[in-house]
Amino acid sequence: MKPLSRREFLRTASMLSAAVALPRVLRAQQGRSPNNRLNIAVVGVGGRGKNVVEGLSGENLVAFCDVDDVRAAATYSLHPEVGSDRRFRDYRQMLDKLGNQIDAVAVATPDHMHFPIAMAAISLGKHVFVEKPLTQTISETRRLAKAARDKGVATQMGNQGHAGDGCRLIKEWHAAGILGDVAEVHCWTDRPIWPQGVHAPDHSKMMPVIPAGLDWDLWLGVAAQREYDPAYLPFSWRGYWDFGTGALGDMGCHILDGAYYALELGSPTRVEAVSAGQTDISPPTASVVTYQFPARGTMPPVKLTWYDGGLQPSLPPDFETGRKLPKNGSLILGSKATVLSGAWYETVQIVPDAKMIELSASLPPRTIPRIEGGHFAEWIRACKGGTPAGSNFDYSSRLTEVALLSNLAIRARRAIDWDSGSLRVTNSDEANRFVTKEYRPGFGV
């Protein structure tokens, strides 16, 4: 087969990008019988939760839960079938009152409440979907994955790129030897796009008033009691250790996923972070985190470097002059070829263009099954007895663990040696403080 011309290549690349593009809102009802619907409850229906509700709206939505009536109002108005008697502020009351009418629960709350809500649902035998990151601490990832296995429920984390073509293409290319040996990966994000490196709000002059419609105590949930402040809500909670997981926790489960899946990375043995601007209560304004993954079978050790706060890696030596990296993405550098990907693996391409043209005739066939309808549809099918979702808790707990290990190194302010088997940092007792956390009583954890 003769090599593709540049015009033919660009047309092919364009078709590839379109084929692997991931819609931000995926409806679950395509291709299914309307008489075979799950009863689903959604916790957190404002913000990102609106997308979750829309993605699951082909099923039977039986209950909503949100601590903020104002933020939830748009979803309530769009779904009058979920009447006022099925709208709750407290997920515990929802599960207590309607538990026998619920098949599955989707969780789209701030990070610190993912674990207690998901664990409560799993304990009742409910299938569970949780937005990324799966949990706020590493110990929670292990506990949640074990509970799901023990109960035999269908699970999924909301890193939607895992259900797309992009991750699968990279894995197929790597397995076929197209990339050669991969020993270096770079991943980056423009996050944080919210304040980080901040101090506690100053209430010495005036005490903010809790907005009407917000149950502040329930919003705090398992976090320690404190006074309300608008610095936390509705978006900037990500910049506080008590509620969020920083830039890597927010985007790592998306951007790390392609390399983690394709290269079967497992658990790193060493993590080192260089960071700027962090405080005792808030993640850094920017960081560079280096992970060392050991060899896996015949695959060599991998050095994976993460950049946030607008930092990016150096361009590969053969990168086209004038070409820029996207604001969020990854580079997988093999001995034979380099892959450039978008944040959600909605686009994947061997670079430079000339290399893609050169290899186009030898790209392997698609051997990994593709997902019809996206990640919500994938989870729904799993709930109904189908194949487990790709980002089920057994997989996503390991991916989340990798993302969260960066925060141990950042908060301990030193390189850490990680023993995944014992769930311990072996060279820093200080870092082990952050493997787990304390919970405010009353939430069953």
How remote is the C-alpha of 155 from its chain's centroid? 14
Q: Angle at Cα 128 formed by Cα 214 and Cα 400, nearest 5°?
A: 90
* pLDDT interval class at 17 (50, 70, 90): very low
Residues in the chain: 445
Tokens 């304040």 correspond to 195
8 Å CB contact between 87 and 110? no
Q: Give all domains of the chain, ordered by start, each with its CATH number.
A: 39-160 (3.40.50.720)
Backbone phi and psi for residue 310, each to the nearest 5 degrees, phi listed first? 90, -5
Residue 8: per-residue pLDDT: 43
Answer whether residue 32 shows pLDDT above 60: no
CA distance 83 to 86: 5
User: b/e per residue, 182-199, with b = 16+ CB within 10 A?
Assistant: bbbbbbbbbbbeeebbbe
At residue 318, the pLDDT reads 84
Q: Helix (H, G, I), strand (E, B), or coil: what is residue 238?
A: helix
Strand residue runs (E) in 178-256: 182-188
Residues 184, 190, 192, 193: what is their CA dihedral angle, to the nearest 10 degrees?
A: -170
DSSP SS3 for 178: coil
Q: Say if residue 33's pLDDT is above 80.
A: no
Return the pLDDT at 198: 98
Burial of 388 (0-12, 13-18, 19+ CB in 10 A): middle
Q: Using CA atoms, how far apart are residues 438 and 246, in angstroms rounded to an integer?
A: 19
Candidates 334, 352, 23, 363; CA nearest to 173 is 363
How far apart (Å, rounded) are the C-alpha atoms in residues 209 and 136? 28
What is the biggest distance separating any 2 CA atoms in the chain, rounded to whole angstroms?
A: 75
What are the CA-CA distances from residue 121 to residues 95, 100, 393 (Å)?
Answer: 8, 11, 14
CA-nearest of 363, 325, 352, 355 to 341 is 325
In the beta sheet, which residues pair with residue 305? 186, 290
Residues 60 and 319: their CA atoms lie apart, in Å, by 49
Is 90 exceeded by the pLDDT of residue 95? yes
Rounded CA separation 47/237 (Å): 13
Read off the pLDDT of residues 240-250 as tens digits, 9 standing for 90 and up: 999 999 999 99
- Hey, what are 55's tokens? 């993605």
Task: Indicate the pairing of strand 60-65 with strand 182-188.
Answer: unpaired
How sure is the predictor about 322, in pLDDT bands with cuts at 50, 70 and 90? confident
Share of the chain above pLDDT 90, in %: 89
